[in-house]
Amino acid sequence: MMNGNNLVIKEQKSNLWYTCVASILVLLMIGTFIFGRYLALDDLSQTKLSLGQTLEALNQTQIELNKAKESLVMQQQSSQVDNLSSQELVNSVKQMQQQQKEQLKELKFYRRILAPELDKDGLAVDSFSLGKTELEGLFHFRATLIQAGKQNTYLKGNLMLKVSGLQSNIEQPQAEAKEVTYTFKHLGSFKPKFFQFQFKYFQNFQGFIKLPEGFTAKTISIGAKTKGRRKNQTAKNNLFGNQKRGKIMLGMNKKKSPKAKAGAADTLICKRTKITGDISFTGVLYIDGHVKGDISAEEAENSLLTIGNNGFVEGQIKVPHIMILGRVKGDVHALVHAELMADARIEGNVYYKLIEMAMGAEVNGQMVHREEKQKLISHQTSKNAKKDSVVSAESDKMK
């Protein structure tokens, strides 16, 4: 190669040299790639390991959270159970107190009937209650009269119920209200003899009254008056709507009464008592439980069977006197007198001589009057006798 006047000679590298250099470069690139790949794989494995540890820790945290939730739920349920137990305990105590109150009330009522020597002699207003109904101005009342002491006679008389208050003028609202008094018999649809009583032990009265429009009741007067030689009367004023149990004693006579003919053979079958078998009694039998069997009494006019509001008798009954306030499943034979109160329910025939039924009493059977039955039998007997006489006369003619 000529450079001016100087001759420059350069060594030219061969193709093999270039090939070697290129191969080295390629190998370096491949090594770098492999090394980088290795480092990437190592980082990926480390990342996966760290992620697995993180997931495991997250699962452990979730398990602990679930346990905490379960513990919280258990605590809440335990708290609810404690609250429910406490409430049930309170309710049980209230229920027991109410049952005790009812039992004391029943025992007091039974004692006044079966152990009259512990009370004063005379007529008593045992209880009176007045309650509202769904209809405006319509009220339901219930009164019970009993004879405390020796029940040696039947008490006859009239029950007097009055309500006093202010009556306003509907047409003239500005006018001053007047004080008025209404008797119960004028405030409802009652039979003429509804408020008359005739009993030896006790008698219930119940019905509905409708207060006049514009009338504001204040007090109720409860009274009873007996008829006959020993006339007695009493009165008591109560606040309107007061349903507390009251007792009004009406002294029949301060002298000692003679012993009752029924004697001390009175029997009581209390509530929640069940008897299976026939019963025969004398005197007075009061049933407030369940009797499965026939009941009969000697045909003495002072024998009385009373079936209370909770009483239930399954069987035939044959007694002189009977008063039914509960249920009877079977025929009833009242030889002298039968009294069916408003809550009486009878599934069977009723055979009676004298009967009294209050509004609401149910009899699913036949009502047979004993005297009418006897007349029918005697009438049929007389007819048969006439037929026999006619037949005998014809046979004599034929002869």
pLDDT per residue as tens digits for the range 105-148: 777 776 665 555 455 556 777 778 888 876 777 888 888 888 76
Alpha carbons 194 and 357: distance in angstroms, whole number: 10
Predicted confidence at residue 349, as pLDDT, reads 95
> Judging by beta carbons within 10 Å of its beta carbon (0-12, 13-18, 19+), is residue 224 exposed, middle or buried?
buried
Burial of 235-272, coded b for 16+ CB within 10 Å and e otherwise, reads: eeeeeeeeeeebebebebeeeeeeebebeeebebbebe
Q: Look up residue 88 and give its DSSP letter.
A: H
Other beta carbons within 10 angstroms of residue 190's beta carbon come to 16
Predicted confidence at residue 3, as pLDDT, reads 53
Alpha carbons 294 and 280: distance in angstroms, whole number: 8
Alpha carbons 248 and 59: distance in angstroms, whole number: 81
Specify whether the CB–CB gap between 320 and 353 falls below 8 A. no
Helix or strand or coil: residue 147?
strand
Alpha carbons 321 and 203: distance in angstroms, whole number: 14
The tens digit of pLDDT for each residue in 25-43 reads: 888 889 888 888 888 888 8
Predicted confidence at residue 209, as pLDDT, reads 87
Other beta carbons within 10 angstroms of residue 316's beta carbon come to 18
Question: In terms of Cα–Cα distance, which of 267, 351, 358 is closest to 305?
Answer: 267
Alpha carbons 341 and 335: distance in angstroms, whole number: 18
- Stated as kind and residue range, the H or E segment containing 80 is helix 15-114
Helix or strand or coil: residue 250?
strand
The length of the chain, given as a count of residues: 399
Alpha carbons 125 and 371: distance in angstroms, whole number: 35
Alpha carbons 217 and 26: distance in angstroms, whole number: 120
Alpha carbons 387 and 21: distance in angstroms, whole number: 160
Predicted confidence at residue 358, as pLDDT, reads 84
Question: In terms of Cα–Cα distance, which of 302, 293, 346 is closest to 324?
Answer: 346
Specify whether the CB–CB gap between 357 and 375 falls below 8 A. no
Alpha carbons 46 and 40: distance in angstroms, whole number: 10
Distance of CA 165 to the CA centre of its chain: 33
Alpha carbons 118 and 110: distance in angstroms, whole number: 12
Residue 333 phi, psi (nearest 5): -115, 105
Q: Look up residue 115 and give its DSSP letter.
A: -
Rounded alpha-carbon distances, angstroms, from residue 301 to 19, 148, 277, 305: 148, 21, 24, 12
The tens digit of pLDDT for each residue in 339-394 reads: 898 889 999 999 998 888 888 899 999 999 976 444 444 444 444 554 444 434 44
Predicted confidence at residue 365, as pLDDT, reads 92
Those residues of the chain that have pLDDT short of 70 are: 1-13, 110-122, 134, 148-152, 228-266, 299-301, 371-399
Predicted confidence at residue 332, as pLDDT, reads 95
Predicted confidence at residue 330, as pLDDT, reads 96
